[in-house]
């Protein structure tokens, strides 16, 4: 859930509804003051778990993050978890952050947080944004779990099988999946195409999808990025997205299809986080459709 300006009370009401319906948890993306939303969730709900998915480490100093995370952990009675990530190049550039490498930055950040624990109090479980194998392995070494976004359904089982059994059985594993419930599959796919345009422009995502077997699709994207005028790139990228790749990392369809696809992810051992959009309204409408599908 995202809590944008002027809609925060409405989002908290949806969170309470999710709790009533016994949903497994609430994932809070970095848009719209995630940590503030999690403070409110600690006080507005009583049983449901919630976590940031994902809070970029460059948004706040590790000491302040430790203090805030420990506070939410305590007042929520252990229902909160902190998902952290290094974000992407455009965000880092916009923030003017100084970076080393993603692996070194996240290791240093967590080390600073853990050193602060003697002052802040106990930290919540910490999950790391994972996409490729190095970050997934690091997550297994220094955190409590790994969270993907837009992961390949056909490839993720083989990826997590690379983890030692002792690690995999104790880790929180989840994937944020763009999801649209609609009888009009093409309309749903059109929304996903717009959602994924920004990710396609990121080299780390293209490298990930290439490793998942979508080399020709990535070649098509890279040709557009290198040869097309900036103002027309998004339109051309959307036109170049084939359904096989799109359907592998998103979910589109009627209620039964969506429920089946989400269940399929859980059978792999990965908690599916339905990142909802709708062909007929905004976030609240999309979340209400999800509630209806499982109530």
Quick one: pLDDT at residue 197? 97
pLDDT tens-digit series, residues 37-72: 999 999 999 999 999 999 999 999 999 999 999 999
The parts of the chain modelled with pLDDT lower than 50 are none
- Residue 222 inside a domain? The answer is no
Q: Tell me if 270 is assigned to some domain.
A: yes
3-state secondary structure 253-275: ECHHHHHHHHHHHHHHCCEEEEE
Q: What is the pLDDT of residue 30?
A: 84
- The encoded tokens of residue 251 equal 């979910």
Q: Is residue 223 part of a domain?
A: no
State how far the Cα of 121 lies from the Cα of 123, in Å rounded to an integer.
6
On whether residue 111 sits in a domain, the answer given is yes
pLDDT at residue 94 in the model? 67
CATH of the domain at 266: 3.20.20.30
Strand partners, 176: 149, 273
Task: Please list, in sequence order, all residues whose beta carbon lies within 8 angstroms of the beta carbon of residue 23, skipping any fewer than 6 positions away.
Answer: 48, 294
Asked if the structure places residue 60 within a domain, the reply is yes
Cα angle vertex 71, ends 66, 73, to 5°? 95
Tally the domains of the chain. 1
Residue 238 lies in a domain: no
Residue 245 lies in a domain: no
- For 238, other C-beta atoms within 10 Å of its C-beta total 15
Q: Is residue 49 domain-resident?
A: yes
Parent domain of 112: 8-185+251-294
DSSP string for the chain: ----TT-HHHHHHHHHHHHHTT-SEEEE-STT-HHHHHHHHHHH-SS-EEEES-EEGGGS-HHHHHHHHHHHHHHTTS-EEEEEE---HHHHHHHT---S-HHHHHHHHHHHHHHHHHHH-PPPPEEEE--SHHHHHHHHHHSSEEEEES--TTTHHHHHTTS-HHHHTTSEEEEEEEEEE-S-HHHHHHHHHHHHHHHHT-HHHHHHHHHTT-HHHHHHHHHHHHHS-HHHHHHHHHHH--HHHHHHHSEEESHHHHHHHHHHHHHHT-EEEEEEE-SSS-HHHHHHHHHHHH-
Tokens linked to 110: 């967590």
pLDDT number for residue 97:
64
Decide if 258 contacts 251 (C-beta within 8 A): yes
The string of pLDDT tens digits covering residues 267-278 is 999 999 999 999
Look at residue 295 in the predicted model and tell me its pLDDT: 87
Nearest-angstrom CA–CA distance, 152 and 100: 28
Closest CA to 112 of 73, 51, 38, 57: 57
Q: Which two tokens stand for residue 18?
A: 């999710």
């Amino acid at each position: 859930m995202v809590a944008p300006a002027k809609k925060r009370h409405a989002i908290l009401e949806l969170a309470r509804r999710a709790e009533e319906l016994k949903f497994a948890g609430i994932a809070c993306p970095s848009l719209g003051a995630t940590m503030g939303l999690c403070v409110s969730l600690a006080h507005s709900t009583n049983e449901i778990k919630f976590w940031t998915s994902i809070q970029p480490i460059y948004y706040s100093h590790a000491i302040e993050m430790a203090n805030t995370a420990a506070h939410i952990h305590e007042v929520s009675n252990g229902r909160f978890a902190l998902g952290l990530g290094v974000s992407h190049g455009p965000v880092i550039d916009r923030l003017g952050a100084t970076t080393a490498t993603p692996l070194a930055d996240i290791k240093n950040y967590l080390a600073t947080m853990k050193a602060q624990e003697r002052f802040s109090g106990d930290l919540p479980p910490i999950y790391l944004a994972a996409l490729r194998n190095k970050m997934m392995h690091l997550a297994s070494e220094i955190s409590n779990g790994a969270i993907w976004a837009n992961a390949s359904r056909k490839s993720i089982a083989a990826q997590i099988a690379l983890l030692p059994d002792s690690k995999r059985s104790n880790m929180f594993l989840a994937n944020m999946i763009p999801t649209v419930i609609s009888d009009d599959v093409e309309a749903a796919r059109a929304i996903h195409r717009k959602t994924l345009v920004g990710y396609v422009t990121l080299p780390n995502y293209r490298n990930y999808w290439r490793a998942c077997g979508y080399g020709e699709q990535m070649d098509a994207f890279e040709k557009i990025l290198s040869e097309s005028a900036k103002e027309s790139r998004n339109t051309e990228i959307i036109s170049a997205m084939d359904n096989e790749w799109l359907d592998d990392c998103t979910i589109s369809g009627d209620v039964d299809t969506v429920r089946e696809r989400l269940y399929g992810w859980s059978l792999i051992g990965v908690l599916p986080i339905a990142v909802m959009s709708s062909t007929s309204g905004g976030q609240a409408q999309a979340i209400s459709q999800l509630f209806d599908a499982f109530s």
